[in-house]
Amino acid sequence: MKRTMLIAITLLALLPDVAKGQWTFDIMSVEAYINDHKKQRSLLLARSTLEYSNQLLHEYSREETGRYKEVNIDLDRYTRAFDVIDVMYQSLRTVLNVKDTYSSVSDRIGDYKTMLEAFHEKILKHGNIEPSDALILTINEKAIRDIANEGEHLYKSVSDLVLYATGAAACSTSDLLMVLESVNKSLDSIEQHLNRAYIETWRYIQVRIGYWKSKIYRERTKREIIDGAFGRWRNAGRLDY
């Protein structure tokens, strides 16, 4: 036993200094190594967490972007649907307005013709003509001129509508609605001009037939007006002594 211990001590004494350093235990170096390992693990953990968070955010953003696109597509689809409904409503209103306007104008023209024929039979045919009867011509001339102007606008609007309907001209929803509204406006204006002329003519004819006073409604010359005014002034200023 003693012999074995002596051999071991002799071998340790013969070892070089480098080999001896391998058997030393440096506490400071070991602690530094451990701290550095902890820092590296912390950095790796933080990096892994950030990468995973970015991945989740990317997936969420992609999902939300897809939803946003879907919502926009749906909204655009609904908007276009409402535009189509609006165009259909305006088109239907135009069709109904054309039919209603035609019926109203046709009936009014029939009434107009009956009224003028009655006036001719009761007044003009008997030679009972007054200068103020020219008022009927003035009323009708103005009505025909106004209706002709609206007819030109109506023709232009209908022509544009035909171009849009056949695809010969580019057309947006707003353009189509504007054309349809222009058609409706022209139809309404034509009916209004005709009704206004009818009422004015009817009012004159009623007075002319039933309650006519030629001294009130007769047109007078400037000379007659001046003489009448001067005569009233002279009579009013006359002094009787």
Question: What are the pLDDT tens digits along the chain (241 aa)?
Answer: 555 555 555 544 544 544 444 444 455 554 555 555 555 555 555 556 655 655 665 565 555 555 555 555 655 555 555 455 455 545 555 665 666 777 787 888 888 888 888 888 888 887 777 787 888 888 888 888 888 888 888 888 878 777 776 677 776 767 777 877 888 888 888 888 889 989 998 988 888 777 655 555 555 555 655 566 556 655 665 545 4
Domain boundaries, the chain: 89-213
* 177, two tokens: 């609605």
Residues in CB range of 146: below 8 A, 6 or more apart: 189, 193
pTM: 0.51
C-alpha distances (whole Å) from 129 to each of 30, 137, 142 are 134, 13, 22
Whole-number Å distance between alpha carbons of 83 and 78: 9
Listing DSSP states for 33-99 in one string gives: HHHHHHHHHHHHHHHHHHHHHHHHHHHHHHHHHHHHHHHHHHHHHHHHHHHHHHHHHHHHHHHHHHH
- CB atoms < 10 A from the CB of 241, how many? 2
Tokens of 69: 């696109």
Q: Would you give the DSSP letter of residue 133?
A: G
| Cα 41 to chain centroid, rounded | 64
